Amino acid sequence: WAAMADPPLTVVEQPVADLAVRATGLLLSRIHASESSPPTLVRLSVRLVERASVAPPPSPQKGDPK
């Protein structure tokens, strides 16, 4: 949907299928565990998708403070 906006929006693409698989596995592990376990940190790689909503910073105008 972000590519259909005007201008097309820059997004952080997340691996949705991997997120679902990991979340399901962690949930099932907690359900079947006999004792409570501490939270698990899972890091998955993401990708920045730059589209037309990204622009360089504006150039300073004459007389503007730095």
- Cα distance between residue 60 and residue 58, in whole Å: 6
**pLDDT score at 39:** 87
**Whether the model pTM is above 0.75:** no
Side-chain half-sphere CA neighbours of 63 within 13 A: 0
- Cα distance between residue 43 and residue 30, in whole Å: 19
Q: Look at 20 and 9; give whichever has higher pLDDT.
A: 20
Rounded average pLDDT over 39-61:
88
